[in-house]
Amino acid sequence: GDSCCNPQSMGYIKKIVENKIPGIYVLSLKIGSNLIQDMENSFFMNVNDQVREVCSQLAKDPHLKGGYNAMGFSQGGQFLRAVAQRCPSPPMLNLISVGGQHQGSVYGFPRCPGESSRICDWIRKTLDLGAYTQAVQEHLVQAEYWHDPLKEEDYRKNSIFLADINQERGINETYKKNLMALKKFVMVKFLNDTMVDPPISEWFGFYKSGQAKETIPLRETSLYTEDRLGLQEMDKAGKLVFLGVKGDHLHFSEEWFYTTILPFLQ
């Protein structure tokens, strides 16, 4: 529901990073030929196609050929993780995920802008009716990281994006190798998040399988204990950074951003 250059969101982030780190080059990714398409694609463009488009943009940008730092907000955090896993050239150096749902989200989806409230209501109803049907998976972004702990088999079998990048159906050694090449993987969790269910997904935790009340942290998940994605090895090497910030989804102060996030970009 956002766009690359909204002066109150992504455009603003771009501006303050440029102001605080003189001479830095910042690319705010646009998916589509204009801002309206960019916003609509955040709801309706197959995430795998979005990742391919971004990989192409990055490969063509001469400023990035030596490597780059990536920062994604909400669903952008997990989408950029897919870029890290699938597109090692140019190399992603550090990945900063601000409120990204790395184990997926269920029973809702991140804050939907007021301008799009009718779209949001329609999407919620569609997800409730058939998140794992082929048509919904291929044409509704939020369905592609919809992770229902009561329907784990349906999720693993039919999720065309999240189940793939989380190695739920087999091990893609290239995904693992590429993610482990990161210097740092920074995950920001909003401690009072009411938009991501469960909020611990922002730190790669999730519900215990088969129920939707008790959650487990990353280090107790099979993804970690079996090290299917290399996260255990990265953790032992000090590459995983877990940050918590008070506030609801994507609510943070400029001061927190300057002191906590900007050092990873310098």
What secondary structure, in 3-state letters, does 122-183 show?
HHHHHHHHHCCCHHHHHHCHHHHHECCCCCHHHHHHHCCCHHHHCCCCCCCHHHHHHHHCCC
Give per-residue pLDDT as tens, 27-86: 999 998 888 888 887 888 899 999 999 999 999 999 999 999 999 999 999 999 999 999
For 150, other C-beta atoms within 10 Å of its C-beta total: 12
What is the distance between the alpha carbons of residues 53 and 82, in angstroms, rounded to a whole number? Answer: 12
The residues assigned a catalytic role are: 74, 193, 249
Distance, CA of 250 to CA of 80 (rounded, Å): 17
pLDDT of 94: 98
Q: Are 86 and 55 in contact (CB under 8 A)?
A: yes
Q: Classify domain 10-184+192-212+221-264 at the CATH superfamily level.
A: Alpha/Beta hydrolase fold, catalytic domain (3.40.50.1820)
Per-residue pLDDT of 84-131, as tens digits, reads 999 999 999 999 999 999 999 865 555 565 445 667 677 767 776 788
Query: What's the predicted TM-score (pTM) here?
Result: 0.90
The 8-class DSSP code of residue 255 comes to: H
Measured CA to CA, the distance from residue 26 to residue 17 in angstroms comes to 8
Does the structure show a pLDDT above 80 at 226? yes
